[in-house]
Structure formats: C-alpha cells, structure tokens
Structure 1
Amino acid sequence: MAEHGVAAKGGVLRVPDFRRLWLADALSQVGSRIDFLAVPLLAATTLSASVLEVSLLRTFATLPFLLLGLQVGAWCDRMRHRPVLIAADLGRAVLFGSIPVAALFGVLTLGQLFTVVLLAGVLGVFFNVAHQTYVPHLVEPALLPDANARLQTNMSVAAVTGPGIGGVVVQFAGSAGAMAVDALSYLWSALWLRRIRTPDVRQEPAERHLRREIAEGLKAVAGNRILLAITVHGAVSSLFQSMQMAISVVFLSREVGLSPGAIGLLSSTTLTGAILAGFTARRLGERFGGARVLLASTVLYGGSLPLFGLTEPGWGLLWYFAAGFGSGFGIITMNVFCVSFRQAVTPRRLLGRVGSVSQTLIFGVAPVGSLIGGLVAEAAGMRTTLLVAGAGALAASAILLASPLRKHRDLPV
C-alpha cells in the first residue's frame, strides 16, 4: 500500500499496474469504436442488409449480457481476473480477424457477422465484469474516482477518435479492413495485461452454489436504495439509447445522405463532450459534490438525446453535434460517479456479482432496445424512432431525481 500512498499524491497513473491496465484499455477502446461503425456499414453496404437486419447485429452483440451476465458475475468472483481479461482479448482478436480473411476470399456472409458479434459479445461479458472487478484490486479506495475517470477518458478519447479513424479506414480500405485494425487493438490490450505484476489472488475455496451466489449479488443491489436507483436508471436509459444506437449509422447514411468518412467525422466531433467529461468529472465532483453532479449529468444526458431526431442535411447537422456533445458529457460523468460509488460500497468478495447485476440490467436490455428500434424504424421511420428514444431517455432521469441522492451533496460512501 506504500506504492498507493505515493500514487495518491501524484495521481492514479503513478500506480504501475493500473497504468498498464489503462494502456491496455486505451487502444482497445479505439478498436471497439471502429467496429461499432464498421460492422453496421459492412452489413448495410457490402452485404445489402435491411435496417432490421442491421439492428439485429446490435441485438446479437448485447444479447449475451442478458443471458449470461449474472452467472459470469458469480464465476468471476471465483476466478483470477487477469487470465480472464487476456483470454477474452485474444478470443475477440481471432473473431474479428476472421472477417477480413473471409472478405478477402469472397465468402463473407451476414451469418458470419451475426456469429462473430454474438461470440464476441460472450467474451465481452467476461471482460467487462472482470475489468470493473479488477480495478479495486489494483488501487486503494481513495483513488477509485481518479481511476474510473481515467478509464472513462479512454472511452471518451476513443469515442472521438475511433469513428474518425474508422471512417477513414472504411473509406480507403473498406469495412472489412477496419475489422483487421480492431483485431490488432485486442492483441495490444492482451500484451499490456500480461505485464501486470500485482498478485491476482483467487478467493479461498468454499462450497459453491451458483443460484445462492447470484442471489447475494441481487440482494446487495436491492438493499442499497441509491445503488438500486442507479441500476434501474441505467437499465431504462440503456433501453432507449439502444433504440437510437441501433439505427443511427443507417439514418445518417440513408436519410441524411452522408458518406462513411463524413459519418466518422461527424461522430468524432459530436463526442468531444465525452472527452471533456473524462478530464473534468472528478474536479466537478470535488467542487460541487458527487451526488449533485451525478443528478445534473443525468438530466443533461436525457435532455440531449431527443436532438438526434432533429438532424437534417447541411446546417441541420448541428442538431446531431449538440445531441452528441451533451449526451456524451452526461453519460461519461454519470459513469465516473456511478461506477466509483458501486465499487466503494460493495464488499470485495461481492464485486463481481454486484457489477454483473448492474451490467446485466444495463446491457441486457440493449438487445431488446435494438430490436424495438429496428421494428419501430421499419414501421414509423428512423426519425420518429430517434425522437421516441430521446423522449424515453429524458423521462428516465426522474428515477434518479426521485431517489435519496437528491438529499445529498456528495455520494454517501
């Protein structure tokens, strides 16, 4: 802990093993943002997929959280986390690397895309649960907000640079070529994770009962009113955000008439709010109080999403920029304080299970939202779907505004 004490004076990046985790996460996040753009474009352009089929890709990618999230949380509390993270990265490198190989030989199909995103989603469940569970083992509790802010900054930088890089790569090398870049990013992550030296201790062997262990995680979330409100809000807002995300790339391509490069550039500029939040969230919490900043960011996030539906060609693209800037700033700020609060109040032996409850609800509703988004878009149009999704996300902010958080300046940890 002496090493952590020094880090507390100089920032969490002074902790060598957290720095390695942070570097592993950095490029991997960029790769993930590239495939978020490239996969639907590959399906919509090269394979002539319908709007519903494109939305189903998002459904398949997030379905494993709904099916396996709770079980993975219990399993991760039994296992060493670093090997899980490395194995998940290597598996995803192989899966996404298979796409450009198939395209090169002219045998790529929608069936392969669905298979890849589904299996990559399974590995993503293991990675995400183990990743958030691993952070408190590398840094002391006082450094958790700084650590999570650094990781959210990675996500923000990736959100800004990933679509731009992806758009350029897709423009000049095709969507399949962008998948090769994504595969390399997972290899980068695995190499840095291998360099972590902190002992990865498995819990003492004990009698295991999967249902009982899952129930412990559910009880821990339900027993804390603030944690419960954060989790429920995350799930409801995720449902509506997934409706928007499932069709946004196709909307910009077919209804607004943008090229892949222009979509990437627009997506990059709109998410500058996310990168700003990564650098300022911790400071805002120190100045105004974590609870107040969390509530304000919830309203900002929900209030920004409806603006996506107002997007038009030309100057009407400013609506998309405003929506992306506001929602990006809001969601990254929310994540910093929500994750830090959950990690601080959860006993270490329950970190995997409590984290998986939250992630299962938040990501588990995503395939439902993606499917609803595709169906509504087919029936009522993509613009109507974006407006409905935005209105739902704004209404969801009432869940946190009505919670015990409204009585606090700082998060009660």
Structure 2
Amino acid sequence: MSYMNLIKEKDYLKILIAGVINRFGDSIDAIAMTWLVYSVSQNASLTALNFGINFVPTVLIQPFAGAYVEKLNHKKILVFMDLLRGVVVFLIALLTYFQCIEGWMIIVATFLLSTAEAFRMPANNALTPVIVKKENFNEAISLQSSMFRLSELIGTGVAGIIIGLCGVHVAIAIDALSFFFSGSIILMVKAKSYLRIEHQNKIFTDFKKGIKYLFHTKCLMRICLIGTIVNALLVPINSLETVLCIEVYHMGAELLSLMGIFSTIGSIVGAFIYPYLAKRYTERQFIVSFLLTMSLFYFICILNKVFLNLIFLFYIHLIISYFSLGAGAAVLSTYSSVNLLDKVDESFLARVSAVCVSLCTAAVPLCSFLVSFLSTFINVSDVFIVIAILSLLLAVLYSIISKKRWLE
C-alpha cells in the first residue's frame, strides 16, 4: 500500500477534505434526526418508515440522474447539491428550535435530502477517476473510506453530548454548516470536472445504455448482489437502533453515540486493511464471513439485555459486536467501490454507478417498510431474532450456490 502517492493528487485531497467535513456533520445528524423522529412520534413504525423514505429517491431517481449529470459540470452539481442540502437541514433545525416540527415535515425533508444526494453521488463518482490516477484507485478509495469513518467516529462521539447539552436542533444545525463548508471547498477544485460527450443523447437513451452495460458485465452484477445483501441486513439496526436503545436497554442518546463510535472504529480498520485482505481472501469468503457476523450481531443485541445488571459485560459485548459490524460492512463496501471504478469505462461511470447503487439500495426501502409493518405487531427484540436467523440461513445458502458457475 502506497498512500504517499496521493499527496501529489491535490484535487483529490480537496474532495477528500470536503467529504470528511460532510461526513462529520452527517454522523451527528444520523443520531440527531433519528432521535428527533422518535421524540416527535414515539413510534417505532414511523422511525422505520422515515428510514425507508430516505432511500426511495436513490432507487427511483438516481439511475436517471446518473445519465443526466454525465452531460453537466460535475463540480457544479456537487456544489449546488451541498448548498441545497444545507438549506433544507438548516430549516429543520429552525423548526425544531421553535418547536414547530412535525413528523410529516421530517419525512418531506428526508425525501428532499435524499433526492439531492441522488444527483450528487453519480457526479462525485464520475469526478473521482478524473482526478485520481488509475494505479492509485485502491489506495484512494481505501484512504477515503478510512478518513470518512474517522470523521464519522468523531461526529458520532460528540453527537450524544451535543444533544444532551445543547439540544437536538444544534446537532442538526451543525450538519447544515458541514454542507456549506463542503460546497465551498469543492469550488476550489481545478481539475477537469466532467467528460465531454460528442453525442448528446436523450437521458432515457443513456439510461438504457447504462442498464445494458451493467447486465452484460458479470462482475458488476456480483457487486450489485453484494450491495443488496449488505443493505438489506443493515436495515433493522439502522432503522430501529434508537428504539433498541430506549425500549430494550432503557438508555439515552449517549449509548447511541457509543454504538456509533465502535461501529465507526470497525469501519476505519476494515477500510484501511482492505488492500491487504483483497490480496489474500476471495469474494466468497468476504460475503460468508459478513453474513455470519450479521447473524451473531443481531443475536448479541437481544441477548445483551440480560447483562444490563452486569454493566461491564454489557459494554464488552456491545463494543465487540458493533466493531465487527462496522469492519465487515466496510470491507464489502470498499471491495464494491474499488471494483466499480476499476471495471467500468469512464464514459459510463456516472450512469452505471447510479444504476448499481439504485439496484443495491432497492432493498433498503422495501426492508424498511417491512420492518415498519412488523413493528406494529411485534417488538424490536423479535424483529432482530428473525433477522439473525435469516442471516445464518443466507450464509449457508450462499456457501452452496456460490460454487455454481453463474457466480464465478
């Protein structure tokens, strides 16, 4: 691993810094917004529903957005979307401060933010190979993932403190400021910000070409399969973590911060050592290990309530399980990102990455709505037990079918 080569990539460093600031705010917002939704509604079902709404634009809009932004200035798209997200989040902070916030307002804001991200993500992916040399892809993506996780670690660590001392509105306002800072830094990027395309085809035609390219490239289909599995299994904990903290463990926002801290530490370690692991382990081993980790994680989340009176054991189990979760997810995520940049032609990257993300993310709103539905009939403990058993069965199933030719 030669991370020192990236020092010469000045525009990459600017994008990296902007992303780090952005992720810091998002990590605070992730806890603050979830806490806000549950505080306003006192309803686990609405919490899961809002989480699912967050991913609807990614599924329905992003594939077309990828084809659309391919013809535009990628840097301007990034700056505009950061500004838009900053304004929306700041309005939520104001409404919360004046105690005018309602559940439907949060859902609308969530949809708008996700729509902006649906345009921003393909533009960012298309800009990366322009400002980074191909031989530095592994290190660039790995360093970016590690730095993002470190930023998330800091943000997650202070989120509970900010909410406790200053209020949830302050935490959300910090996220708004992070978007404004991010956009300002991206303005300073001087690299060529978009690929010139000779034939200005219609968006739908470009979209169809991206779909065709994807379905005729087996390695990309495998990436989509991996992303779908990871996203689906993370839905219950991501959407019901606040409910788990309050209803099962009977604790406050500080525990959410602790959960996020060790999940992020695991993500940092997983992303950083990915280049080492990629040389020694196969895709099949990565996936099976992750599925087994997820099964154990969900079992521990429920069994850990037995140790609430043995607080030392409770925190040991919590730390180990969240660290493992973060590490496993980061390894698979980095694997997918590196292979996407390496295998896709630059002229197709924006639209293909958008379609890939859309397909992978389709599992999130579907699973979120299912979790929301289940939460009206069974408690969070039962939901987690079902997911733990499902993850174990998937590990066994994938071990068998991955030997078939269609997955080779």
TM-score, length-scaled by structure 1: 0.89
Alignment of 1:208 onto 2:201: yes
Question: Do 1:133 and 1:351's aligned partners in 2 also have CA atoms closer than 8 Å?
Answer: yes
Out of 8, 13, 17, the position equivalent to 2:11 is: 17
Counterpart position of 2:371: 373
2:301 to 295, 308, 321: 308
Residue pair 2:239, 2:368 contacting (<8 A) in 1 also: yes
Distance 1:302 1:402, change over 3 A: farther
Amino acid at match of 1:358: C
- Shift in CA distance, 64/11, structure 1 to aligned 2, threshold 3 Å: same
Residues 1:322 and 2:316 are matched in the alignment: no
Which residue of structure 2 aligns with residue 106 of structure 1?
99
- Is 1:53 the counterpart of 2:40? The answer is no
* Identity within the alignment, %: 17
Question: 208-217 or 177-186: which moved more?
Answer: 208-217
Q: Aligned partner of 1:180: which letter?
A: A
Task: Give the Cα–Cα distance (whole angstroms) in 2 for the partners of residues 310 and 321 of structure 1.
Answer: 14
Tell me the residue number matched to 1:4.
none
How far apart, in 1, do the equivalents of 2:326 and 2:41 lie?
30
- AA partner of residue 351 (structure 2): R
Counterpart pick for 2:257 among 253, 257, 264: 264
Tell me which residue corresponds to 1:239. Answer: 232
Query: How far, CA to CA, are the matches of 1:336 and 1:290 in structure 2?
Result: 14
Q: 1:22 to 1:319 in 2, by over 3 A?
A: same
Q: Which residue of 2 aligns with 1:363?
A: 361
Structure 1 Cα separation of the partners of residues 79 and 285 of structure 2:
35
Distance 1:303 1:41 in 2: 26
Give TM-score, length-normalised by structure 2. Answer: 0.90
Q: Output the CA distance in 1 between the equivalents of 2:109 and 2:249.
A: 29
**Pick from 319, 323, 332: which aligns with 1:334?**
332
Gap regions ≥5 residues in structure 2: none
Whether the aligned pair in 1 keeps the contact of 2:290 and 2:329 (CA below 8 Å) is yes
Mark the CA change 1:401 to 1:172 in structure 2 (over 3 Å): closer, same or farther: farther
Give the superposed CA RMSD: 2.6
Match of 1:186 in 2: 179
Partner of 1:392: 390
Per-residue deviation at 1:264? 1.0
Q: For residue 85 of structure 1, what is the aligned residue in structure 2?
A: 78
Aligned length: 401
Cα deviation digits, residues 336-391 of structure 1 (max 9, x gap): 22111111111111101110111102223212211211222221210121232344
Write out per-residue CA displacement over residues 104-124 of structure 1, whole angstroms, 9 at most, x where no aligned residue.
Answer: 333222222111111001011
Q: 1:404 and 1:85 mapped to 2: Cα distance?
A: 41
Report deviation, 1:255.
Answer: 1.6
Residue matched to 1:284: 277
Equivalent position of 2:119 in the other structure: 126
Matching residue of 1:173: 166
CA distance in 1, matches of 2:104, 2:243: 19
Ranges in structure 1 where 5+ consecutive residues have no aligned partner: 1-6
Using a 3 Å threshold, how does the CA distance of structure 1 residues 140 and 294 change in structure 2: closer, same or farther?
A: farther
